[in-house]
Chains A and B, each alone.
Chain A
Amino acid sequence: MSEFFAMGGYAWYVWGSYGVTFFCLFAEIFLLLKRSREAKE
């Protein structure tokens, strides 16, 4: 398991990429749902 997270020594590069990507995508959807609720009012 820890071997998996170590990514052969490339942990920062791999998880830095995936982390930022999925954070951005979830943030966009969250903000859109919020904007949608506000627009309804």
Chain B
Amino acid sequence: MRWFWYASPQTFFPLAGTIARWSGIAAAVLALVGLYIGFFVAPTDAQQGEAYRIIFIHVPAAWMSMFIYVVMAFWAGLGLALNTRLSGMMASALAPTGALFTFIALWTGALWGRPTWGTYWVWGDARLMSELILLFLYFGFMALHAAIEDPRRADRAAGLLALVGVVNVPIIYWSVKWWNTLHQGASVSLTAAPKMAATMLTGMLVMALAFWMYSIAAAMLRVRCIIRERGA
């Protein structure tokens, strides 16, 4: 791979289109498989009944909200360090999709919380608050970028905000450990055996892959728009 060849927006443009097409197709296929497992293969939960089926989108959306932020901050940092044009465009291309998944995580969490915890929302829960801050960080990034007319100066200013805000991601991740508030601990982690049935876990992981592919497709479509709009 000639990485620096693709660091130029003009040469990256057609590649982004190809990636968008294939990851979009992959996202659709994976989502159909994931939904099939989530609704027809995974059994009813003994404690939560059918309400638990929300986790098949809630958990993957929450993962994506954090992961996209880290990738966005990575591109922002790369742009600040190397002053490459495409890096800032990639960060801008990821922000709205990240904000969308943050909103979905909060929305589905509220609808899951109501039947399970008895409330849609609690002020003061560490996990809920840090995820809400993540949403505001995405909004802040987009608002700051939109407020500065020169796109390359906007890239740098918003990029700095993205980098500072990245400290919030480990706070979200470990919030359920550090503060023992309402949101329960992780059901799936890298260090321990998952605390759920195998079919439930499979459904969740397939949906996570689907969201992942979707995010790549959306970011590639958006970066193509940005490249065109900036006339690069």
Contact = CB atoms under 8 A, between A and B. Distances in A.
Interface of A: 4, 7-10, 12-14, 16-18, 20-21, 24-25, 28-29, 32-33, 35-36, 39-40
Contact of A32 (B221, B228, B229): B221
Highest count of chain B CB atoms <10 Å: which of A7, A9, A13, A20: A13
Interface stretch (B53-61, B151-159, B180-188, B189-197): B53-61
B96 to A, nearest CB: 7
Contact of B225 (A7, A9, A12, A35): A35
B49 interface: yes
Contacts of B225: 32, 35-36, 39
A36 B224 contact: yes
Nearest to B211: A25
6 contacts: A17-B107, A21-B61, A28-B100, A32-B222, A36-B228, A39-B225
Interface of B: 24, 39, 44, 49-51, 53-54, 57-58, 61, 96-97, 100, 103-104, 107-108, 111-112, 114-115, 214, 217-218, 221-222, 224-225, 228-229
Contacts, number: 73
Given A21-B57, A21-B61, A29 B112 contact: no
Given A13-B115, A33-B221, A39-B229, A28 B96 contact: yes
A18 to B, nearest CB: 6
